[in-house]
Structure 1
Amino acid sequence: MACFFRRSIAAKLGRTLQQSEDALISALSAVPVFKKQESADFRLSVNTLRTKGILPSNGDLQLQTEALANELKQDSVVEEISAGRGVINFRVHRKLLVEKMLEPFEKEDNRFGLNSELFNTVKKGTTLVEFSSPNIAKKFHAGHLRSTIIGNFIANLKQSLGNNVIRMNYLGDWGMQFGLLGVGFDQFGCQEKLKLNPLQHLFDVYVQVNRAAEHNEEIWQAARDFFRQLEQREAQATSLWQQFREITVTEYQQVYQRLGVHFDIYSGESFHQEQAQEVVQQLQSRGLLKTTEKGTGVVDLSPAGDMSSLSTVLRSDGTSLYITRDIAAAIDREERYHFDEMIYVTDKSQENHFHQLFQILLAMGHSWAERCQHVSFGLVRGMKTRSGEVVFLEDVLDEARARMLHNMSQSKTTKEMDDPEDTAEKVGISALIVQDFKGPLQSDYKFDWDRMLQAQGDTGVFLQYTHARLCSLIQKNGDVEAGALDPSLLLEQRSIVILQHLLRYDEALYQSAQDLQPKHLVNFLMKLCHLVASAHRELPVKGSPPDVAQARLRLFSGACSVLASGMRILGITPVDKM
């Protein structure tokens, strides 16, 4: 495994430089591979050693690199050492590379790459991830898709690295929109329609009441009155709100099930409505709450204290705002779950909101707010189904499944399946996830059905196709006897580049853990699929001598295991046939 080689090389360097292995491990990285040219396995950045103070930072970098390379000698692990530009390259003995990299798969080790020493510095403990967080009484909009799949990826990644993860869905179930909806349902609502198609009916009511309120101040006043009744927990308003909430959560859970996403806790703004009033009192007692001429309650966040940067925490009528409830929710979560880090996943339009939230918490004396983080993302442009403009997530998932089913029915290579619809659904969702995860999360991107569902190219379909193909290969060769591996049978370039690439798995996961961006893992898995496709053509299992067949099967099984592991972290369910 990569950690065996990295530690061996770090130990060699440690003896030469009289340093501990641990100080040198982070300066070593696996070398990216290219299909048609041989490369070293690891490289040491000499500049990193200078930055760490292990080598003098003055003097010629290249002379230092060559001098250190000359001091290092080959041994039973490393067969070749050479100086590049500011780096020292290490090539390990080929048979040892084969033996050590395939060893974990003998035991069916699905923790491959996750026990790396690279993760020793990664924050462990309890991670609370708040994601998805749609609004009650509205259909699950495609815009919530990004928060859902990104949050799920972060939760999966943290869990795979050994953190105790709490997955929280913080529902938008409070605020003035319920005042409007309450009034709207009174005017336009129908309990029969609510039973037949709950969210569609509530959505229609909301659109109607918004339209009616545009030129009617009375509706706005009635909405404010309804919301005040809610805040005071009056029975009739609360009962209607409770009905809307329960209906919506039930409907959402069906969508989450399709996406393979689960939550440990369904929370919501309503849970913290009373605590929000306590927050206001705490802000007041600390002298942080100021009242404006309009009567609103604000916190001054300007560095100079000149009221140039304000955060409004209270309306003039005394009702709470979104940020007030967010402050209360954060304090409650810290007391309840004692998290080591809390990650909020929302779109980039909320960056200022979270900046203010963390600043207010710190001003209130909650130093743990420094362990809170906002992961933001850009917009999806052009996500439309054939049928219309307003895009609900169910429609997108239905269309992805239908298009995938059509593509599978047209393909000559499609296998017989017990449940083609289920496979089409899983592959369609993979395509959605990979299209979303290929670039930096902060970027907006243009949704493209055709490109997304291509079987060739860097798509979720290609990932699933490669995994299914490897499963088929393993299944067809189930009669190949398992025995002791002979490493000398896997020394072809096609085998070696796959093993070299697997050396980088822990680094891809480490990069993703550092910046919470899935693109590093996506790129790693795509490269693995391309390398496997080439090897599949040139290294046949069927018809090869038994010991060669067994060695190749071990290589392909290892690649399949890592591919499935990486896909699951991304939130993709691997399929065995397609």
Structure 2
Amino acid sequence: MACFFRRRIAAKLSRALQQPEEAFIPALTAVPVMKKQQSADFKLAVGTLRVGGVLPSGGDVQLQAETLATQLKPDSVVEDVSAGRGLINFKVHRQLLVQKMLEPFGKGEDHRFGLNSELFNHLKQGTTLVEYSSPNIAKKFHAGHLRSTIIGNFIANLKQALGNNVIRMNYLGDWGMQFGLLGAGFGRFGNLEKFKQNPLQHLFEVYVRVNKEAEHNEEMKQAARDFFRQLEQHESSAVSLWQQFREITVKEYRHVYKRLGVHFDVYSGESFHQDQAREVVQQLQSRGLLKTSEKGTGVVDLSPDGDMSSVCTLLRSDGTTLYITRDIAAAISRKEKYQFDEMIYVTDKSQENHFSQLFQILLNMGHSWSDRCRHVSFGLVRGMKTRTGDVVFLEDVLDEARARMLRNMGQSNTTKEMDNPEDTAETVGISALIVQDFKGPLQSDYKFDWDRMLQAQGDTGVFLQYTHARLRSLIRRNEGAEAATFDPSLLLEQTSIGILQHLLRYDEVLNQSAQDLQPKHLISFLLKLCHLVASAHRELPVKGSSQDVAQARLRLFSAAGSVLSNGMRILGITPVHKM
């Protein structure tokens, strides 16, 4: 495994430079695999040692690299040390590389590969609360919530894989003036029969209609304000209707989440914190932080000079609370209940200012833990349409992804042998959605493209699934041929070495993702692994090889399949075994 080699090289550097091994471990990185080219396995940038104070910062970097390289002699682990462009390159003994990298896969430790690395020592272990998805109730699941759902799921999976206790929370938009509108609108335009037949569709229609009406009808606006005030004052008829809307919506959402392979530990919502929001207002008043604006609203001054040039409104003039008031209450309540070590909010980038204000107000209230709260923002998806035109609802997108994938699969002979081609098409279609979404930086907007997304060739979710299914098929066809031991000397071709060199990078990639919470690093790593496996399929046949060679190659393919499967699961993709 990578950590074995990293430690041994760090020990070598430690002896030469009289510094602790820990100074070198983070600076040693695996060399990316170049096509068909023999290369070193690890490199060390002299510049990082200079910045870290291990080497003096003056003088020629190249000269320092060459001098240090000559001090480091080959040994039983490292067969060659060389200098190049301010780098020191380390090449480990090939047979040892094969043996150590494939060792865990014969001991049933496949699922832990790359997760016991010393690179993660700097990461704080503890309880991580991730709030994601968070759609508004009484509305069908909008395609716009897809990004928050799959990004949050990836972050939760990654944190869990790295040993954190993760709480997955869905914080529903289940309070606020929109329910004033919906409640008043349902009283005017609601139809109980239609509501029973297709609840969310009917509520959506009512909401669209009442919004239109309220644009030019002051009476309707007043009715909405009255209904919301009744809710805030817990009047039974208003609360009963609201509760019906909430229960039906959560039931519908669970169905969509199941299709996406997403689950939550807690379904919370703004409504849980309405009373606590009042306490927040009182606390702000007692600290002298809540001011009354000229319009009669309750505001907190966030300007650096205290001149009210930047304020955040927490109370309407009629005394009702706002979204941010409830968010402050929710954060305080979660800290008390879950004692989290970090809390991550996953929403689109239009809410960056909201979270900046939220964290600032928490800090002003004396909650020093607000610096352990983090907002992960993302851009918009452009052009997400189905055949019928502009898409509004996620289920339409999932249905179309499944239908298109099923059509593509119908052209393959293996589809006919499947027990459940529809389920496979659904899983692969969702994988394609996720990979297209995760390939670039999360902050960027991206253009949705059905055809590119569902291609079997190229860097797509379909290609990931196809490679995994092909590896599983190879293992199935050779059941019984795998052995507990294998001969490492039979895997010294550059094709085999290339795969193992690439696997050396797995812990680095996870470490990079853990720091910036971007899935693109892992996507890129897995797609590259698939390309290397495709070459190995052509050049390293199992069928027709001698028993010893077949066993060694199966161990290599099995290892690649395990890492591919583990990485896909962290991304929130369910690997398929047949395709």
TM-score range, shorter chain: over 0.9
How much does 1:192 deviate? 1.5
Q: Distance in 1 between matches of 2:389 and 2:82?
A: 61
- In the TM superposition, residue 197 of structure 1 has moved relative to its aligned partner by 0.8
**1:144 aligns to 2:145 (yes or no):** yes
Residue by residue, what CA displacement relative to the aligned partner does 1:285-317 show, whole Å, maximum 9, x if unpaired?
Answer: 111111011100000000011111110000000
CA contact (8 A) 1:171 1:267 kept: yes
Q: How far 1:45 sits from its partner (Å)?
A: 1.1
SS at match of 2:168: strand
Alpha-carbon displacement from aligned partner over 1:51-82 (angstroms, at most 9, x marks no partner): 11011111111111111111111100000000
In structure 2, distance between residues paired with 1:4 and 1:480: 29
1:436 paired to 2:434: no
Cα distance 1:365–1:481, how it changes in 2: closer, same or farther (>3 A)?
A: closer
Aligned twin of 1:227:
228
Q: Is the 8 A contact 1:385 1:391 kept in 2?
A: no
CA contact (8 A) 2:496 2:536 kept: yes
| Range moving further from structure 2, 188-197 or 145-154 | 188-197
What corresponds to 1:389 in structure 2?
Answer: 390
The AA in structure 2 aligned to 1:329 is: A
Corresponding letter in the other structure for 2:395: E
**TM-fit CA distance, 1:3:** 0.3
1-structure distance, mates of 2:415, 2:84: 47
Distance in structure 1 (CA, Å) of the matches to 2:409 and 2:457: 13
Checking the alignment, whether the CA contact within 8 Å between 1:313 and 1:323 is kept in structure 2 is: yes
In the other structure, the counterpart of 1:199 is 200
The whole-number CA distance in structure 2 between the counterparts of 1:401 and 1:108 is 34
State the alpha-carbon separation in 1 of the partners of residues 21 and 495 from structure 2: 32
Give CA-to-partner distance per residue, 1:136-182, whole Å, 9 cap, x none.
Answer: 00010000000000000000000000000000000000000000000
**What is the aligned partner in structure 2 of residue 418 from structure 1?**
419
Asked whether 1:56 is paired with 2:53, we answer: no
User: Does the residue aligned with 1:287 lie in a helix, a strand or coil?
Assistant: coil
Cα distance in 2 for residues equivalent to 1:483 and 1:331: 53
| Structure 1 Cα separation of the partners of residues 484 and 454 of structure 2 | 40
Provide the rounded CA distance (Å) in 2 between the counterparts of 1:37 and 1:298. 63
Cα deviation, residue 412, structure 1: 4.3
CA displacement at 1:213 relative to structure 2:
1.1
C-alpha contact 1:182 1:240 (8 A) present in aligned 2: yes
Query: How far apart are residue 560 of structure 1 and its match?
Result: 0.1
**Alpha-carbon deviations, 1:240-286, whole Å to 9, x = none?**
00000000000000000000000000000000001001000101111
In structure 2, what is the Cα distance between the partners aligned to 1:203 and 1:20?
Answer: 63
- State how 1:308-347 maps to structure 2 within 5 Å: 308-347=309-348
Match of 2:386, SS state, is coil
Quote how far apart the aligned CAs of 1:352 are.
Answer: 0.1
* Contact preservation (8 Å) 2:415, 2:421: no
Q: Does the Cα contact within 8 Å between 1:415 and 1:577 map onto a contact in 2?
A: no
Q: Deviations over 1:340-360 (max 9, x none)?
A: 000000000000000000000
1:570 CA displacement: 0.1
Question: d(CA) in 2 for partners of 1:281 and 1:333?
Answer: 19
Q: Secondary structure at the match of 2:108?
A: coil
Residue 34 (structure 1) shift = 1.4
Q: How far 1:415 sits from its partner (Å)?
A: 5.8
Equivalences for 1:182-331 in 2 at 5 Å?
A: 182-331=183-332
How far apart are the structure 2 equivalents of 1:484 and 1:435? 39
Q: Contact (CA 8 Å) 2:214, 2:221: kept in 1 or not? A: yes
Q: What TM-score, normalized by structure 2, do the two folds share? A: 0.99
- Is 479-488 or 349-358 further displaced after alignment? 479-488
Using the TM superposition, give the Cα deviation of residue 502 of structure 1 relative to its aligned residue in structure 2, in angstroms: 0.3
Unaligned runs of 5+ in 1: none
Q: What is the distance in 2 between the residues matched to 1:418 and 1:502?
A: 33
Report the alpha carbon displacement of residue 414 of structure 1 after superposing the two structures with TM.
3.8
Structure 1 Cα separation of the partners of residues 449 and 389 of structure 2: 16
1:174-185 alignment runs, 5 A limit: 174-185=175-186
- CA–CA distance in structure 1, aligned partners of residues 69 and 75 of structure 2: 14
The answer to whether the aligner puts 1:529 opposite 2:537 as a matched pair is no
Return the offset for 1:4. Answer: 0.2
Match of 1:172 in 2: 173
Q: Is the 8 A contact 1:45 1:87 kept in 2?
A: yes
Aligned residue for 1:41? 41
For residues 216 and 147 of structure 1, the distance between their equivalents in structure 2, rounded to whole angstroms, comes to 35
Task: Tell me if structure 1 keeps the 8 A contact 2:139–2:200.
Answer: yes
Asked if 2 retains the 8 angstrom alpha-carbon contact of 1:35 and 1:494, the reply is: no
Q: Does 1:3 align with 2:23?
A: no
* d(CA) in 2 for partners of 1:205, 1:450: 35
Root-mean-square deviation (Å): 0.8
Name the residue aligned to 2:465. 464
**What does the per-residue CA deviation read over 1:454-510, in whole Å, with 9 as the maximum and x for residues that have no partner?**
000000000000000000000001131514211110000100000000000001100
**C-alpha displacement at 1:35, in angstroms?**
2.0
Gaps of 5+ in 2: none
2:172–2:270: 8 Å Cα contact kept in structure 1?
yes
Distance 2:521 2:560 in 1: 17
Percentage of identical aligned residues: 81
CA-to-partner distance for each residue in 1:538-561, whole Å, 9 max, x for gaps?
100011000000000000000000
**Alignment match, 1:15:** 15
Aligned pairs for 1:474-485 (under 5 A) are 474-485=475-486
Contact residue 153 and residue 571 of structure 1 kept, 8 A: yes
1:354 partner letter: F
Match runs of 1:364-379 below 5 Å: 364-379=365-380
CA distance change for structure 1 residues 101 and 150 in 2, over 3 Å: closer, same or farther?
same
Equivalent residue letter for 2:223: A
2:490 partner amino acid: L
Count residues in correspondence: 578
- The amino acid that maps onto 2:101 is M
Q: How does 1:555-566 map to 2 (within 5 A)?
A: 555-566=556-567
For 1:337-391, what per-residue CA distance to the aligned partner results, in whole angstroms no more than 9, with x for missing partners? 0000000000000000000000000000000000000000000000011123242
**Is the 8 Å Cα contact of residues 391 and 397 (structure 2) preserved in structure 1?**
no
TM-score, structure 1 length as denominator?
A: 0.99
